[in-house]
């Protein structure tokens, strides 16, 4: 999030109010009750038994706030969020706190995964007020939905030098009654600051290589040489910087980019952020060395890392990267997917229950020794650096598993051959997993989100391309069919979420572009034009629904939905906040559509989109990596492998597999049957070749970059080489 200058501290507002001791409780004009029991979101349903009279987001709580002249208390969180659980258990379940809320506020609870539009706007507002954000997000609003104060976790009583709700709530209620002009002034300043910040973030400019160069330089300058990753604090495994780095290595042979990507991926794979027994990755690490995670496991984090490790494996052929990929797939297949119907689940919770902090994933030395043979325990204790003291500050004695040494070093210390150490590691991990499987497993949220399913489907199809596993392709396509059957509305737009056997929340820009990306990838691995047609229809719908006709680029939601609070303000962003920004992905999808359909309006729209943010993008550093990647693919067209031959011909299949498996981030692969394809379906440089293939009857492949194509080849090995090297700075070969 781009920093905003915090406004006048709320302490000034509190100082203007009468002391809390003179506060008189509000009169309960109406009996408010908790309205969350039937909510689609499991996060909201989990709060249905709390004594707070929660409302879901909607017109009713805003109507009540105006009718009763009360401020609104807004809680935004997620079921996977540890500190959200803490606040629910300690604060919102406290009877005195609940009474203060119910008598003086209208309380609204929002699931940030279900409503990212609401979350993003109030994150910006609280950041403008305090310089902080995150989850849970606690926001105080006027009846019109404007924020005038906020923060993160609040305990019932004053604690750790921070004000508690029993102190804060009366003061805010009193300020709202007696210092309304100060409250309103603060809310208006927030709105002004946010509008000003968005204007500054939407400066247009020339789409030039300097944008890519600035992002690459930001990766170098922000790279943590000691620990891998970027920055010096908590570490988030964002995929866009890694993908940009690997793209620049593939195209230019930039060894710096390869080194920072592989060092980061090595550190993540060895760190505590990696579930070494289950295979998945936690959301982020609380320390610079990737050792101590927040334990929730989210689908989109794993989709990003799955793609990054696949590309790193292609670039280096390092076996450990393939092992990591297979571990992520094994975890996702087992825990985060519906293998019968298709679709990927949203996330697995961090906690097993109240008061827990990673107990499912962590171990004491005593537990390890009890679970394993003496030889296995000796090796695993060394490998993971386990101690009696543990490395969890919140729960002494418990250890997060993270790799601290090598099998070779353990072998030298124990006078054992490395092969035996490896065998003991494998058997020890297997036995620890058996013990862990008997523990109560953290909750899995089985909501299917359209955008995140699009990400996972794309990642699985990438895994099929690299590993050649037909099961991954089959499940990805099954999941895509589930999305199209269950989350696509009658008018062709998407819903955002599917849970409790129903689709809900009209889809956002991100839903449309990520699913369109998955559809384009499905076309490339199947050759079925229905996927290309569906992707085109989806992006055409997005252009009609979300496109900013005045300034270029896409807004995040439909304009007719902007009727409550900050949703009145359209939002348009190119900044990565976890996954690549939807606008960055949209530019890539539009350009791919242009190459695959020969409809140049898509390329023009991609250019207009990128131009809309080009003036500001260089100042965003690594947080514009997804945008910079889209710029690079726009200015330097991707390798486009065009294979002409029957899809049932084994020679065609061999060329196809070679093109799919080749390392070239951003590549496009298309197979056309000469019996049915029209010349207008092909890139102009290839169209004339179809007649020659029809005469000769031999499947052929052309590799094109822009308007330059290689000579045709019928050799799979040559196809792989050409896809990887044709028209790159790493290869001086240039075929007419």
DSSP assignment of 320-374 equals HHHHHHHHHHHHHHHTSB-TTT--B--EE-S-SSTT-SSTTT-B-HHHHHHHS-H
What total of structural domains would you count in the chain? 4
pLDDT at 414: 95
pTM, whole model, 2 decimals?
A: 0.94
Q: How many Cβ atoms are within 10 Å of 57's Cβ, its own excluded?
A: 21
- Can you give the pLDDT at residue 570? 80
pLDDT of residue 233 exceeding 50: yes
Looking at residue 356, its pLDDT comes to 83
DSSP state at residue 163: -
Does residue 285 share a domain with residue 183?
A: no
Please say whether the beta carbons of 143 and 71 come within 8 A: yes
- The structure tokens listed for 181 are 């002009």
341 and 421 inside one domain: no
Whether pLDDT at 28 is above 60: no
In 366-518, where do the E strands start and end? 444-445, 448-449, 495-499, 502-506
How far apart CA 627 and CA 414 sit, in angstroms, is 50
> What pLDDT score was predicted for residue 22?
53
pLDDT of residue 198: 80
Mean pLDDT to the nearest integer, 35-44: 96
Q: Pick from 579, 663, 595: which is nearest to 627 by CA?
A: 579
Confidence of residue 26 (pLDDT cuts 50, 70, 90): low
| Residue 2 lies inside a defined structural domain of this protein | no
pLDDT tens-place string over residues 240-261: 999 999 999 999 999 999 999 9
With a cut of 60, say whether residue 678 has pLDDT above it: yes
Both 413 and 501 in one domain: the answer is: no
The answer to whether residue 201 scores a pLDDT higher than 80 is no
Neighbours of 189 (CB within 10 A): 16
Inform me whether the pLDDT recorded for 222 exceeds 80: yes
Asked if 59 and 154 sit in the same domain, the reply is yes
317 CB contacts (<8 Å, ≥6 apart)?
A: none
Query: Positive or negative, the Cα torsion across 254, 259, 265, 268?
Result: negative
Last residue of a domain, one of 424, 439, 454: 439
Is pLDDT above 90 for 641?
A: yes
For residues 383 and 378, give the distance between their C-alpha atoms in angstroms, rounded to a whole number.
9
Phi then psi dihedrals of residue 348, to 5 deg: -115, 135
Higher pLDDT, 354 or 595: 595
Retrieve residue 408's tokens. Answer: 């070779």
Range of the domain at 147: 10-201
Residue 199: band (very low, low, confident or very high) from pLDDT cuts 50, 70, 90: confident
> Per-residue pLDDT for 351 more than 50?
yes
Last residue of a domain, one of 177, 201, 225: 201
Asked whether the predicted pLDDT for residue 79 surpasses 80, the reply is: yes
416 and 450, same domain (yes or no):
no
Residue 735 lies in a domain: no
Is there a single domain that holds both residue 220 and residue 243? yes
Residue 15's pLDDT is 43
What percent of the chain is predicted at pLDDT more than 70? 93
Q: What is the CA radius of gyration of the chain?
A: 27
Whether 1 is in a domain gets the answer no
Q: Are residues 474 and 414 in the same domain?
A: no
Q: Which residue has the higher pLDDT, 1 or 445?
A: 445
- What confidence category does residue 20 fall into, taking pLDDT thresholds of 50, 70 and 90? very low
pLDDT value of position 688: 61
Q: In what order do the strands lie in the sheet with 639-644?
A: 668-672, 639-644, 700-705, 708-709
459 Cβ contact partners less than 8 Å away, ≥ 6 residues apart: 302, 303, 304, 306, 307, 310
| Tokens at 101, concatenated | 């809320």
pLDDT above 90 as % of the chain: 82
Q: What CATH number did the domain enclosing 653 receive? A: 3.40.30
Same domain for 479 and 403: no
Closest CA to 520 of 449, 602, 579, 576: 602
Section 532-536 average pLDDT: 97
Residues 167 and 236 in one domain: no
More confident residue, 118 or 352: 118
CB 583 within 8 A of CB 609: yes
pLDDT value at 572 more than 70? yes
Which one of 162, 181, 201 terminates a domain?
Answer: 201
| Residues 573, 717 within the same domain | no
**C-alpha span between 367 and 372 (Å, rounded):** 9
Q: What confidence score (pLDDT) does residue 202 get?
A: 86
**What average pLDDT score do residues 201-225 get?**
95
Res. 163: pLDDT tops 80? yes
User: What confidence tens digit (pLDDT) does each residue in 683-710 have?
Assistant: 776 776 555 555 467 999 999 998 888 9
d(CA 425, CA 378): 10
pLDDT tens, residue by residue, 706-722: 888 899 999 999 999 99
Average pLDDT over the chain, rounded to whole? 92
Split at pLDDT 50, 70, 90, the class of 735 is very low
Q: Which two tokens stand for residue 662?
A: 């080749």
One domain for residues 15 and 162:
yes
CATH of the domain at 408: 1.10.10.10
363-393 pLDDT per residue, tens: 999 999 999 999 999 999 999 999 999 999 8
Residue 8: predicted pLDDT: 45
CA distance readout (Å), 154 to 55, 190, 715: 20, 22, 65
Q: Quick check: 12 pLDDT over 80? A: no
Q: Do residue 459 and residue 548 come from a single domain? A: yes
| pLDDT tens digits for range 591-637 | 999 999 999 999 999 999 999 999 999 999 999 999 999 999 999 99
At 151, which helix (H) or strand (E)? strand 147-151
Across 471-481, average pLDDT = 98
CATH number of the domain encompassing residue 343: 1.50.10.10
């Amino acid at each position: 999030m781009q920093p905003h200058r915090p406004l006048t501290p709320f302490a000034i507002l509190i100082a203007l109010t009468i002391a809390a001791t003179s506060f008189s409780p509000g009169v309960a004009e109406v009996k408010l009750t908790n309205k969350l029991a039937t909510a689609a979101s499991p996060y909201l349903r989990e709060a249905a038994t709390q004594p707070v009279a929660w409302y879901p987001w909607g017109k009713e709580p805003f109507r009540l706030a105006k009718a009763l002249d009360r401020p609104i208390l807004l809680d935004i969180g997620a079921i996977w969020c540890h500190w959200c659980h803490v606040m629910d258990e300690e604060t919102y379940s406290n009877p005195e706190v609940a009474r203060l809320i119910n008598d003086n506020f209208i309380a609204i609870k929002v699931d940030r995964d279900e409503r990212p539009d609401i979350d993003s706007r109030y994150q910006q507002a609280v950041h403008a007020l305090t310089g902080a954000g995150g989850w849970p997000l606690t926001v105080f609003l006027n009846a019109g939905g404007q924020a005038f104060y906020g923060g993160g976790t609040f305990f019932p009583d004053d604690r750790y030098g921070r004000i508690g709700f029993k102190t804060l709530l009366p003061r805010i209620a009193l300020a709202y009654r007696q210092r309304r002009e100060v409250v309103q002034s603060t809310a208006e300043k927030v709105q002004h600051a946010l509008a000003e910040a968005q204007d500054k973030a939407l400066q247009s400019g020339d789409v030039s290589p300097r944008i890519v160069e600035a992002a690459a330089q930001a990766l170098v300058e922000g790279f943590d040489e000691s620990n891998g990753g970027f920055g010096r604090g908590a570490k988030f495994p964002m995929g866009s910087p890694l993908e940009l780095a690997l793209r620049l290595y593939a195209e230019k042979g930039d060894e710096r980019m390869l080194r920072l990507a592989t060092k980061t991926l090595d550190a993540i794979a060895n760190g505590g952020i990696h579930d070494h027994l289950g295979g998945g990755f936690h959301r982020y690490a609380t320390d610079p060395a990737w050792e101590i995670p927040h334990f929730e496991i989210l689908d989109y984090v794993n989709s990003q890392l799955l793609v990054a490790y696949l590309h790193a494996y292609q670039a280096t052929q390092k076996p450990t990267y393939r092992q990591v990929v297979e571990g992520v797939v094994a975890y996702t297949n087992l825990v985060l997917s519906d293998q019968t119907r298709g679709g990927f689940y949203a996330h697995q919770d961090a906690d097993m229950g109240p008061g827990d902090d990673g107990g499912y994933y962590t171990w004491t030395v005593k537990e390890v020794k009890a679970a394993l043979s003496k030889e296995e325990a000796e090796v695993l204790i060394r490998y993971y650096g386990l101690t009696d003291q543990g490395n969890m500050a919140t729960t002494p004695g418990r250890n997060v598993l993270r790799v601290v040494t090598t099998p070779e070093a353990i072998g030298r210390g124990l006078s054992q051959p490395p092969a035996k150490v490896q065998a003991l590691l494998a058997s020890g991990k297997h036995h620890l997993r058996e013990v862990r499987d008997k523990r109560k497993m953290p909750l899995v949220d089985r909501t299917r989100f359209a955008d995140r399913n699009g990400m996972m489907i794309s990642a699985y199809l990438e895994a099929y391309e690299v590993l050649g596993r037909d099961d991954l392709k089959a499940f990805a396509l099954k999941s895509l069919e589930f999305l199209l059957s269950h989350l696509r509305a009658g008018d062709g737009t998407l819903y955002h979420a599917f849970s409790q056997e129903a689709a809900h929340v009209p889809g956002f820009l991100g839903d449309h572009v990520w699913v369109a990306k998955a559809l384009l990838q499905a076309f490339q691995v199947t050759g079925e034009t229905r996927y290309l047609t569906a992707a085109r229809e989806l992006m055409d719908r997005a252009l009609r629904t979300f496109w900013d006709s005045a300034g270029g680029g896409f807004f995040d939601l439909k304009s007719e939905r902007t009727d409550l609070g900050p949703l009145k303000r359209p939002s348009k962003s190119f900044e990565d906040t976890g996954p690549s920004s939807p606008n960055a992905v949209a530019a890539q999808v539009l350009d791919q559509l242009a190459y695959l359909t020969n409809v140049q309006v898509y390329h023009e729209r991609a250019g207009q989109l990128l131009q809309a943010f080009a003036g500001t993008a260089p100042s965003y550093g690594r947080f514009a990596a997804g945008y910079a990647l889209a710029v690079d693919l726009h200015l330097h067209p991707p390798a486009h492998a065009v294979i002409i031959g029957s899809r049932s011909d084994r020679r065609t299949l061999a060329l196809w597999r070679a093109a799919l498996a080749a390392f070239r981030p951003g590549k496009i692969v298309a197979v056309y049957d000469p019996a049915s394809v029209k010349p207008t379906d092909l890139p102009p440089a290839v169209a004339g070749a179809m007649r020659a293939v029809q005469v000769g009857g031999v499947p052929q492949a052309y590799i094109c970059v822009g308007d330059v194509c290689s000579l045709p080849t019928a050799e799979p090995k040559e196809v792989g080489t050409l896809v990887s090297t044709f028209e790159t700075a790493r290869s001086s070969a240039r075929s007419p």
